[in-house]
Amino acid sequence: MIYLDYSATTPVSYDVLESYNKATRDYMGNANSIHSLGVKSKVLLNSATKQICELFNIQEEELIYTSGATESNNMALKGIALAYKNRGNHIIVSKLEHPSIYSICSFLETQGFEISYVNNDNEGLIDFDDLKSLIRPETILVSICAVNSEVGIRQPLKTIRQIIKKENPNTIFHSDMTQAIGKVAVNMHDVDMASMSAHKIFGPKGIGFLYKNNKVNIVPLVHGTGKFNDLRSGTPALPLIVALSKACRIALTDLEKREALVKRLNDRICGELEKIDGIVLNKTKYSIPHILNISFNNIRPETFIHALEDDEVYVSTNTACSSGDLSTSVMAIFNDKKRAVSTIRISLSYVTTNEEITKFLNLFKARYNELNSLMKGNE
The residues annotated as belonging to the active site are: 321
Q: How far is CA 174 from the centre of its chain?
A: 13
Distance CA 110, CA 366 (A): 49
| Of 362, 379, 370, the residue nearest 304 (C-alpha) | 370
Q: How many other CB atoms sit within 10 Å of the CB of residue 204?
A: 20
Distance CA 48, CA 46 (A): 6
Distance CA 269, CA 267 (A): 6
Neighbouring-strand partners of residue 332: none
Q: Using the Cα atoms of residue 154, residue 158, residue 159 and residue 161 in order, give the sign of their dihedral.
A: positive
| Of 237, 226, 243, 247, the residue nearest 41 (C-alpha) | 237
Parallel, antiparallel or unpaired: strands 291-296 and 279-281:
antiparallel
**Using N-to-C axis directions, what is the helix angle for 238-251 and 36-56, rounded to 10°?**
30
Among left, alpha and beta (phi > 0; psi -120 to 50; other), residue 345 is: beta
Distance CA 109, CA 113 (A): 5
